[in-house]
Amino acid sequence: MRGGATFRVWCNILLHQGQKWGQTGPKQRKTEQMAEQGTPIKQGKSDVARAARLSVAPMMDWSDRHCRYFHRLMSARVLLYTEMVTAPALVRGGALHLLDYNTEEHPLAVQLGGADPRELAQATRLCVERGYDEVNLNVGCPSDRVQSGTFGAVLMTQPGLVADCVSAMKDAAQGIDITVKCRIGVDDQNAAEVLPDFLSRVGAAGVDRFTIHARKAWLKGLSPKENRDIPPLEYPLVHQMKSFFPSLHLSINGGIASLDTAKEQLEIMDGVMIGRAAYHQPADILLDADRRIFGALDAKCAHQVAEEMIPYIERHLADGGRMHSITRHMLGLFAGRPGARAWRRVLSEGASKSDAGVALVREALSHVPETEQEAL
């Protein structure tokens, strides 16, 4: 980082933040001690921060309420996120059904998209009224649809506006955590300059928890899918932010596909967010997360989770729902195990039929042999 940029960053920190970044407060120390002891999660601000040691990313078209319920059966402690919900859809469109969730999903964060402070404040009130544990602002999505609304990753170019947005959200939040998920920069920005400036300015507005996707977003020339893979991962830069801002709770996201890698990252960072791996191989990430990340003693097996989904599917069908809406999220449950292909085939081919019922899950499950541990 060039000297002038460094000076501006630290001036922003001193001018806008009413604390010393190098200090660790008693609340943070208590949270870290709880994490080490594996204390069970309960709702409350400190517990949400603790749950953020491992979180499942907000994923459009994937992390709906059925997916989140399924994931929660595998881990009682990880922090779950909704898909991004736009503030205009809630405030202007009245699409409040987008905020529906199952109470079992806690600890649960809702991610909002928007760039109008007043509208985001109104949307935040709606989220707080419905009992969410955290409201997160999306400053990372690179899609054309999001850019056209001037929010998502394009907001990395407007840290002052982001600061105004989160300040308004905090005023409406009634003590609920307001957090930000961002990229390290966009397009031709110098990420080593932009990212610390962004964190200092938005942190000065009252945000003390960020999740940083360790890639740039290229707003022109790359699709959202390509933006998840092509820009190089810059983990060292994100790690450096933790040394610059030790009192911020910083989670790292991007390219993390195993609990082993997550644990390595937690030696430096406060939290890890996992996306596609948690969706496509949920058992590998979530079944052992409570034990390995949070110090719990209990753990379920994949067969048990499949059985526990059956009453939920029955209720959904009784309410007029479609089987496929749930089972599409369950296809990766046995990924890498004998019988996984048959499990996927039975569910994929049968779940869309009009007469599909829970017997289909039991049929699919019959193709997957139990391990010795599961048979105990």
Q: How many residues does the chain have?
A: 376
pLDDT reported for residue 25: 38
Kindly state the tokens that stand for 355: 């007469």
At 317 the three-state DSSP class reads helix
pLDDT reported for residue 295: 95
Distance CA 238, CA 235 (A): 5
- Cα-flanking dihedrals φ and ψ of residue 186, to 5°? -135, 150
How many CB atoms are located within 10 Å of the residue 340 CB?
Answer: 17
pLDDT digits 0-9 by tens, 249-297 = 999 999 999 999 999 999 999 999 999 999 999 999 999 999 999 999 9
Kindly state the tokens that stand for 223: 């699709």
At 108 the three-state DSSP class reads strand
Distance separating the N- and C-terminal Cα atoms of the chain: 57
pLDDT reported for residue 14: 40
Distance CA 133, CA 79 (A): 10
At 53 the three-state DSSP class reads coil
Sign of torsion over alpha carbons 143, 145, 148, 153: negative
Residue 259 pairs in a beta bridge with: none
pLDDT in tens, the chain (376 residues): 444 444 444 444 444 343 333 333 333 444 344 334 433 333 566 689 999 999 999 999 999 999 999 999 999 999 999 999 999 999 999 999 999 999 999 999 999 999 999 999 999 999 999 999 999 999 998 766 555 567 889 999 999 999 999 999 999 999 999 999 999 999 999 999 999 999 999 999 999 999 999 999 888 877 777 877 788 899 999 999 999 999 999 999 999 999 999 999 999 999 999 999 999 999 999 999 999 999 999 889 999 999 999 999 999 999 999 999 999 999 999 999 999 999 999 999 999 999 999 999 999 999 999 986 666 6
10: left (phi over 0), alpha (psi -120 to 50) or beta: alpha
Strand pairing category for 54-56 and 79-86 = parallel
pLDDT reported for residue 192: 97
> What Cα–Cα distance (Å) separates residue 239 from each residue in 214, 234, 267?
10, 9, 10
Distance CA 91, CA 76 (A): 32
Task: Name 174's Cβ contacts closer than 8 Å, sequence gap at least 6.
Answer: 128
54: left (phi over 0), alpha (psi -120 to 50) or beta: beta
Distance CA 30, CA 177 (A): 17
Annotated catalytic residues are 141
> What Cα–Cα distance (Å) separates residue 220 from each residue in 100, 142, 244, 274?
34, 9, 30, 25
Question: Which residue in this structure is represented by tokens 């850019």?
Answer: 147
Distance CA 161, CA 169 (A): 12
Distance CA 156, CA 182 (A): 7
Kindly state the tokens that stand for 227: 């933006």
Kindly state the tokens that stand for 93: 């469109």
Question: Which residue in this structure is represented by tokens 């994949």?
Answer: 302
pLDDT reported for residue 6: 46
- Please count the CA atoms within 13 angstroms of the CA of 199 that sit on its side-chain side: 30
pLDDT digits 0-9 by tens, 162-220 = 999 999 999 999 999 999 999 999 999 999 999 999 999 999 999 999 999 999 988 88
